Amino acid sequence: LFYKRESSNSRYCNQLFQGMNMSTSVQQENASERISSEILAKIHNIVQKESLLSDKYDINKKVVDFIHPQELEKVLPLDITKNGLEVNDLEKIAEQVVAYSVKTCHPYFYNQLYHGVEENGLAGTWLSEALNTNNHTFEVAPVFIIVEQAVTKYLMNLLGWDIQTGDGIFS
């Protein structure tokens, strides 16, 4: 999802810093931080409001509000524009994405490969995404490499394999 930062920055700078004697670059930096925080807060609020966690989703709600793919194309704002979107538009789109998506966190959603998300897993995913790293070398991901090695050793031990000669990787 894309949004328009330029006009939002100017608008927020005008609202936040009216009458203050701050340089334009500091104003823009502060406005940009506020916009980023606002986006994350809105997505967090949607996750909380819709109870999108495995043990919190209302069993009386539907697993999916299905509409035909051709209708779904009409309902979703799929136009890609040069100017992007305002933060409030992003929130509306996120709400539509949630409304028409399969709720894998629903107790009646059954799939052999996955089911919902729980709070600790989601928190770890958000942190991992915020760090935006890879596990390919120690130089770019020292913590993740050490965690991967610890989990690999734990699993080898659990299986009765020799941790000195065993090996493994995650993808």
Least confident of 33-42, 59-68, 93-102, 161-170: 33-42
Q: Tens of pLDDT along 4-33?
A: 444 444 444 333 334 334 444 555 556 556
Residue 84 carries which side chain, given as an amino acid letter?
A: G
What mean pLDDT is predicted for residues 37-59?
91
Q: How far is CA 15 from CA 84, 86, 90, 128, 137, in A?
A: 21, 16, 20, 33, 45
What mean pLDDT is predicted for residues 81-86?
86
Cα–Cα distance for residue pair 68/73, rounded to 1 Å: 9
Q: What's the Rg (C-alpha) of the chain?
A: 22
What mean pLDDT is predicted for residues 56-68?
93
pLDDT of 64 strictly over 50: yes
Residue 9 contacts by C-beta under 8 Å, 6 or more apart in sequence? 28, 31, 32, 35
Give me the pLDDT at residue 129, please: 92
Q: Tens of pLDDT along 103-125?
A: 999 999 989 898 999 999 999 99
Give me the pLDDT at residue 168, please: 82
What mean pLDDT is predicted for residues 29-43?
74
